[in-house]
Amino acid sequence: MPFNDIYGINAFGDSVMRDRLPKAIYKELKSVQAGECELTNACAEVVANAMKDWAIEKGCTHYTHWFQPMTGLTAEKHDSFISPTADGLAIVEFSGKELIQGEPDASSFPSGGLRATFEARGYTAWDVTSPAFITEEGNCKTLVIPTAFVGYHGEALDKKTPLLRSMQALSNQAVRVPRALGNMSSKRVISTVGPEQEYFLVDRELYQARQDLIFTGPPCSDRFLPRDRNLKTTTSARFPNGYPRS
Protein backbone atom coordinates (compact mmCIF):
# COMPACT_ATOMS: atom_id res chain seq x y z
CA MET A 1 0.00 0.00 0.00
CA PRO A 2 1.42 3.44 -0.92
CA PHE A 3 2.68 5.49 1.99
CA ASN A 4 0.37 8.40 1.24
CA ASP A 5 -2.63 6.06 1.53
CA ILE A 6 -1.81 5.08 5.11
CA TYR A 7 -0.43 8.39 6.37
CA GLY A 8 -2.61 9.66 9.23
CA ILE A 9 -5.14 6.81 9.05
CA ASN A 10 -5.05 6.43 12.85
CA ALA A 11 -5.67 10.12 13.54
CA PHE A 12 -9.10 11.68 14.00
CA GLY A 13 -8.03 14.60 11.88
CA ASP A 14 -9.77 17.15 9.74
CA SER A 15 -10.61 14.83 6.86
CA VAL A 16 -12.16 12.23 9.20
CA MET A 17 -14.18 14.87 11.02
CA ARG A 18 -15.41 16.30 7.74
CA ASP A 19 -16.65 12.87 6.65
CA ARG A 20 -18.20 11.78 9.95
CA LEU A 21 -19.61 14.94 11.50
CA PRO A 22 -22.76 16.77 10.40
CA LYS A 23 -21.84 19.85 8.41
CA ALA A 24 -23.13 22.25 11.07
CA ILE A 25 -21.24 20.46 13.87
CA TYR A 26 -18.05 20.35 11.81
CA LYS A 27 -18.30 24.08 11.14
CA GLU A 28 -18.95 24.79 14.82
CA LEU A 29 -15.97 22.68 15.90
CA LYS A 30 -13.69 24.50 13.46
CA SER A 31 -14.86 27.79 14.99
CA VAL A 32 -14.02 26.42 18.44
CA GLN A 33 -10.56 25.41 17.24
CA ALA A 34 -10.04 28.91 15.88
CA GLY A 35 -10.99 30.40 19.24
CA GLU A 36 -14.08 32.13 17.87
CA CYS A 37 -16.59 30.50 20.23
CA GLU A 38 -16.88 28.14 23.20
CA LEU A 39 -17.50 24.41 22.88
CA THR A 40 -21.12 23.53 23.63
CA ASN A 41 -22.32 20.32 25.25
CA ALA A 42 -24.44 19.53 22.19
CA CYS A 43 -21.42 19.78 19.89
CA ALA A 44 -19.29 17.69 22.25
CA GLU A 45 -21.92 14.92 22.34
CA VAL A 46 -21.97 14.61 18.55
CA VAL A 47 -18.17 14.69 18.28
CA ALA A 48 -17.80 12.11 21.06
CA ASN A 49 -20.22 9.73 19.38
CA ALA A 50 -18.48 10.05 16.01
CA MET A 51 -15.07 9.63 17.63
CA LYS A 52 -16.26 6.53 19.52
CA ASP A 53 -17.71 4.89 16.39
CA TRP A 54 -14.53 5.60 14.42
CA ALA A 55 -12.29 4.21 17.19
CA ILE A 56 -14.38 1.06 17.70
CA GLU A 57 -14.39 0.37 13.96
CA LYS A 58 -10.60 0.39 14.17
CA GLY A 59 -10.58 -2.06 17.08
CA CYS A 60 -10.33 0.21 20.13
CA THR A 61 -11.80 -0.96 23.41
CA HIS A 62 -10.51 1.85 25.64
CA TYR A 63 -9.87 5.57 25.55
CA THR A 64 -7.46 7.69 27.54
CA HIS A 65 -6.89 11.33 28.39
CA TRP A 66 -3.24 11.93 27.52
CA PHE A 67 -1.34 14.79 29.19
CA GLN A 68 2.17 16.02 29.94
CA PRO A 69 2.69 16.62 33.69
CA MET A 70 5.76 18.36 35.07
CA THR A 71 7.71 15.13 35.32
CA GLY A 72 9.26 15.25 31.86
CA LEU A 73 7.12 12.26 30.88
CA THR A 74 3.57 11.74 29.63
CA ALA A 75 0.68 10.35 31.66
CA GLU A 76 -2.61 8.65 30.82
CA LYS A 77 -5.82 7.63 32.53
CA HIS A 78 -7.53 4.72 30.74
CA ASP A 79 -11.25 4.03 30.69
CA SER A 80 -13.33 1.51 28.77
CA PHE A 81 -15.99 2.21 26.18
CA ILE A 82 -17.93 -0.73 27.66
CA SER A 83 -20.20 -0.21 30.67
CA PRO A 84 -21.96 -3.14 32.43
CA THR A 85 -25.73 -3.09 32.84
CA ALA A 86 -27.94 -4.40 35.65
CA ASP A 87 -29.05 -7.40 33.59
CA GLY A 88 -25.49 -8.68 33.21
CA LEU A 89 -24.97 -7.34 29.71
CA ALA A 90 -22.90 -4.40 28.52
CA ILE A 91 -23.40 -1.27 26.48
CA VAL A 92 -20.92 0.80 24.51
CA GLU A 93 -21.03 4.49 25.31
CA PHE A 94 -18.84 7.58 25.27
CA SER A 95 -20.43 10.88 26.25
CA GLY A 96 -19.46 14.43 25.48
CA LYS A 97 -18.68 14.96 29.16
CA GLU A 98 -16.22 12.05 29.10
CA LEU A 99 -14.59 13.55 26.02
CA ILE A 100 -14.29 17.04 27.46
CA GLN A 101 -13.10 16.30 31.00
CA GLY A 102 -11.37 13.65 33.08
CA GLU A 103 -10.24 13.56 36.71
CA PRO A 104 -6.92 11.81 37.35
CA ASP A 105 -5.27 11.81 40.77
CA ALA A 106 -3.34 15.07 40.74
CA SER A 107 -1.53 14.26 43.99
CA SER A 108 0.59 11.79 42.03
CA PHE A 109 2.16 14.60 40.00
CA PRO A 110 4.29 17.62 40.93
CA SER A 111 2.69 21.05 40.94
CA GLY A 112 5.75 23.27 41.22
CA GLY A 113 4.66 24.43 44.67
CA LEU A 114 1.34 25.79 43.39
CA ARG A 115 -0.80 23.76 45.78
CA ALA A 116 -0.73 22.08 49.16
CA THR A 117 -0.05 18.35 49.27
CA PHE A 118 -3.59 17.46 50.33
CA GLU A 119 -5.16 19.27 47.36
CA ALA A 120 -5.30 16.20 45.17
CA ARG A 121 -7.97 17.22 42.70
CA GLY A 122 -6.90 17.75 39.10
CA TYR A 123 -8.69 17.77 35.79
CA THR A 124 -7.81 16.90 32.23
CA ALA A 125 -9.50 19.07 29.60
CA TRP A 126 -9.78 18.11 25.93
CA ASP A 127 -7.47 20.15 23.70
CA VAL A 128 -9.61 20.68 20.62
CA THR A 129 -6.62 21.96 18.64
CA SER A 130 -4.86 18.57 18.75
CA PRO A 131 -6.34 15.57 16.90
CA ALA A 132 -7.15 12.39 18.79
CA PHE A 133 -5.29 9.31 17.59
CA ILE A 134 -5.04 5.57 18.09
CA THR A 135 -2.12 3.71 19.62
CA GLU A 136 -1.56 -0.03 19.48
CA GLU A 137 0.32 -2.11 22.03
CA GLY A 138 0.14 -5.83 21.52
CA ASN A 139 -3.46 -6.69 20.75
CA CYS A 140 -4.83 -3.61 22.52
CA LYS A 141 -5.80 -0.45 20.67
CA THR A 142 -6.54 2.74 22.58
CA LEU A 143 -8.10 6.03 21.53
CA VAL A 144 -5.75 8.73 22.81
CA ILE A 145 -7.29 12.15 23.48
CA PRO A 146 -4.77 15.00 23.91
CA THR A 147 -5.63 17.10 26.96
CA ALA A 148 -4.43 19.88 29.22
CA PHE A 149 -3.99 19.17 32.95
CA VAL A 150 -5.11 21.81 35.45
CA GLY A 151 -6.01 22.17 39.11
CA TYR A 152 -9.39 22.97 40.63
CA HIS A 153 -8.75 26.72 40.39
CA GLY A 154 -7.18 26.54 36.93
CA GLU A 155 -3.55 26.16 37.99
CA ALA A 156 -1.39 24.74 35.22
CA LEU A 157 -0.15 21.31 36.33
CA ASP A 158 1.40 20.36 33.01
CA LYS A 159 3.59 21.72 30.24
CA LYS A 160 0.86 22.11 27.63
CA THR A 161 -1.43 24.54 29.45
CA PRO A 162 1.22 27.32 29.70
CA LEU A 163 2.00 26.81 26.01
CA LEU A 164 -1.65 27.11 24.95
CA ARG A 165 -2.16 30.16 27.16
CA SER A 166 1.02 31.80 25.85
CA MET A 167 0.00 31.20 22.25
CA GLN A 168 -3.40 32.74 22.93
CA ALA A 169 -1.89 35.76 24.69
CA LEU A 170 0.57 36.23 21.83
CA SER A 171 -2.23 36.04 19.29
CA ASN A 172 -4.35 38.56 21.18
CA GLN A 173 -1.55 41.13 21.09
CA ALA A 174 -0.06 40.33 17.68
CA VAL A 175 -3.41 40.62 15.91
CA ARG A 176 -3.41 44.31 16.86
CA VAL A 177 -0.62 44.90 14.31
CA PRO A 178 -2.57 44.03 11.12
CA ARG A 179 -5.60 45.82 12.54
CA ALA A 180 -3.51 48.94 13.08
CA LEU A 181 -2.48 48.66 9.42
CA GLY A 182 -6.09 48.55 8.29
CA ASN A 183 -6.67 44.79 8.05
CA MET A 184 -9.77 44.42 10.19
CA SER A 185 -10.55 40.88 8.99
CA SER A 186 -7.64 39.27 10.85
CA LYS A 187 -8.90 37.29 13.82
CA ARG A 188 -5.80 35.59 15.18
CA VAL A 189 -2.09 35.06 14.68
CA ILE A 190 -0.74 31.51 14.62
CA SER A 191 2.66 31.07 16.25
CA THR A 192 5.04 28.34 15.17
CA VAL A 193 7.02 26.95 18.08
CA GLY A 194 10.32 25.22 17.39
CA PRO A 195 13.99 25.72 16.60
CA GLU A 196 14.89 27.58 13.44
CA GLN A 197 17.96 27.16 11.27
CA GLU A 198 18.30 30.83 10.39
CA TYR A 199 20.10 33.50 12.32
CA PHE A 200 20.03 37.26 11.85
CA LEU A 201 23.29 39.19 12.11
CA VAL A 202 22.82 42.69 13.54
CA ASP A 203 25.49 45.39 13.86
CA ARG A 204 26.39 46.24 17.43
CA GLU A 205 25.20 49.85 17.06
CA LEU A 206 21.83 48.73 15.74
CA TYR A 207 21.60 46.05 18.41
CA GLN A 208 22.20 48.58 21.17
CA ALA A 209 19.43 50.76 19.73
CA ARG A 210 16.89 47.94 19.99
CA GLN A 211 15.67 47.40 23.53
CA ASP A 212 13.71 44.30 22.49
CA LEU A 213 16.87 42.58 21.24
CA ILE A 214 18.77 43.55 24.36
CA PHE A 215 16.06 42.11 26.61
CA THR A 216 15.91 38.80 24.74
CA GLY A 217 19.68 38.51 24.49
CA PRO A 218 21.80 37.31 21.58
CA PRO A 219 20.55 33.82 20.67
CA CYS A 220 23.56 32.75 18.63
CA SER A 221 27.30 32.57 19.11
CA ASP A 222 29.89 31.85 16.44
CA ARG A 223 31.84 28.62 16.83
CA PHE A 224 34.02 26.58 14.54
CA LEU A 225 32.11 23.77 12.89
CA PRO A 226 33.01 20.22 14.00
CA ARG A 227 33.73 19.32 10.38
CA ASP A 228 34.07 21.12 7.09
CA ARG A 229 30.99 21.43 4.91
CA ASN A 230 30.10 22.52 1.43
CA LEU A 231 27.91 25.54 0.75
CA LYS A 232 29.17 27.25 3.87
CA THR A 233 27.58 30.50 2.75
CA THR A 234 24.19 29.16 3.85
CA THR A 235 22.97 28.22 7.31
CA SER A 236 26.25 26.48 8.18
CA ALA A 237 28.38 29.55 7.56
CA ARG A 238 30.57 31.26 10.11
CA PHE A 239 30.09 34.94 10.87
CA PRO A 240 31.89 37.19 8.34
CA ASN A 241 35.26 38.66 9.23
CA GLY A 242 35.01 41.77 11.35
CA TYR A 243 32.37 40.39 13.69
CA PRO A 244 33.86 39.18 16.97
CA ARG A 245 33.04 35.73 18.25
CA SER A 246 31.30 35.63 21.63
- Report pLDDT for 70: 87
pTM given for the model? 0.75
Sorted by where each starts, the structural domains of the chain and their CATH numbers stand as 3-158 (3.10.20.70)
CB atoms within 10 A of CB 23: 8
Tens of pLDDT, residue by residue over 60-111, are 999 999 999 988 889 998 899 988 888 888 888 999 999 999 988 777 787 7
Tens of pLDDT, residue by residue over 183-219, are 998 888 888 765 555 667 788 888 888 888 887 765 5
Q: Report, in angstroms and rounded to the nearest whole number, the Rg of the chain calculated over CA atoms.
A: 24
Ramachandran sector of residue 238 (left: φ over 0; alpha: ψ -120 to 50; beta: rest)? beta
β strands within the chain, DSSP E: 11-12, 60-67, 75-80, 82-84, 90-92, 101-102, 122-126, 132-137, 140-151
CA 152, 153, 159, 163 torsion-angle sign? positive
| 34 DSSP 8-state letter | T
**What's residue 83's pLDDT?**
86
The 10s digit of each residue's pLDDT in 103-153 is 887 777 877 777 666 667 889 999 999 999 999 988 899 999 999 999 888
d(CA 6, CA 4): 6
Maximum alpha-carbon separation in the chain: 84
